[in-house]
Amino acid sequence: MWKVVHFIKFSFSAAFAGIFCCIAPVILFQFGLMSGIYAISFADFFYKEDGSIGIGAVLLRLIAFIILVIGIVKFNKKENCSLNSNKEKKINKILFAVIATVITVSLFWTFEEFSSYYFDKYIVPQQQLEYKS
């Protein structure tokens, strides 16, 4: 059971850390705590004018990678204390690293696609309305 919790804890943490630049303005906009103009300007800090990633987004992705590595290292320490054979320990460590990485990357891409859709559908039109008024 603790393995599943470990997967969820570190995979979700890494994915959220990597996509914080886009998810935070979406959530704050949804709850009415941020205007459309401010949500766009918040995201502009992390991305360049042409839409490519900027230094802020690179730093967040680096933090996400570090969180993922910390999760793998912590799992490896716990797995070393198990009563499994060395072969089983090695297989468990490899499986955990691969599955945690796949879950993290999948969640990251899902959040990125969702935030892109949400920005285009709701935040950008609201920004245009705010500019007109």
Give the tens place of pLDDT for each residue, 79-130. Answer: 888 888 989 989 988 998 998 899 999 999 998 899 889 988 998 898 888 8
Q: Are 42 and 20 in contact (CB under 8 A)?
A: no
Give dist(CA 13, CA 128) in Å, integer: 33
Which comes out higher in pLDDT, residue 102 or 38? 102
Domain spans of the chain?
10-132
Check residue 70 and give its pLDDT: 92
